[in-house]
A and B are shown apart, each in its own frame.
Chain A
């Protein structure tokens, strides 16, 4: 079992739909990242959370530390949101490396 589990693995939505991607983890963390990877490969950090909720434009990320669970929501989805979304936890050990979920391939159709 991976230390970081994401669901769903693949998600297809119509433009305008509300989207939720979930992430559960089983290790001690100092923070959780949501990352976006577009075709062509670059990785961009969308959010870093250690508690509560953050919002940036149409993106909202929440984390429940007690339940070891985080969600990424996209409101009013758009085809340009199509990408792979990756949950990554920052290890609470000395090196603070990231441990990644397997990613969610999101396709938003016009």
Chain B
């Protein structure tokens, strides 16, 4: 069983569309993250949820809205997609307390045309 699974793996869409990326973890972790990897392969935190509560919201356009229906799921919804949103988005999970490994999803390559 995949520990952190993201869908879809590839997403090609037109400017102006609204799209969602789903993430689920079956590790029992209490904290989930969305990271963005830009064209230079640099990874940066976007959001973090702990037990369904938002605990990090970096300087991300409010067109990006995370939703956590339960602690095993953290979905990312993006409104009015722009060319600059093209990137690879990674979901990850870990346990907030104690030094536990971070587990990553396989990434979603979003291309906005």
Contacts and interface: CB of A to CB of B under 8 A. Distances in A.
Interface string B46-88: 0010100001100000000000000000000000000000001
Nearest to A105: B41
A96 B100 CA distance: 10
User: Chain A binding site: helix, strand, loop or mixed by DSSP?
Assistant: strand
Contacts of B31: 95-96
Interface stretch (A20-28, A40-48, A63-71, A74-82): A40-48
Contact of A45 (B50, B96, B103): B103
Given A41-B109, A43-B90, A103-B42, A95 B55 contact: yes
11 contacts: A31-B99, A35-B104, A41-B88, A45-B104, A95-B50, A96-B31, A96-B94, A97-B48, A98-B92, A100-B43, A103-B41
Interface in B1-36: 31, 33, 35
Nearest to B41: A103
Nearest to B43: A100
Given A42-B107, A43-B90, A90-B99, 20 more contacts: A33-B102, A41-B88, A41-B107, A41-B109, A42-B104, A43-B104, A84-B41, A88-B43, A90-B102, A94-B55, A95-B31, A95-B96, A97-B56, A98-B35, A98-B92, A99-B45, A100-B42, A102-B40, A102-B42, A103-B41
Interface residues of A, number: 25
A14 interface: no
Q: Which one of A31, A45, A88, A96 has the greatest number of beta carbons of chain B within 10 Å?
A: A96
Interface in A3-46: 30-31, 33, 35, 37, 41-45
A86 interface: yes
A97 B33 contact: yes
Nearest to A31: B99
B14 to A, nearest CB: 23
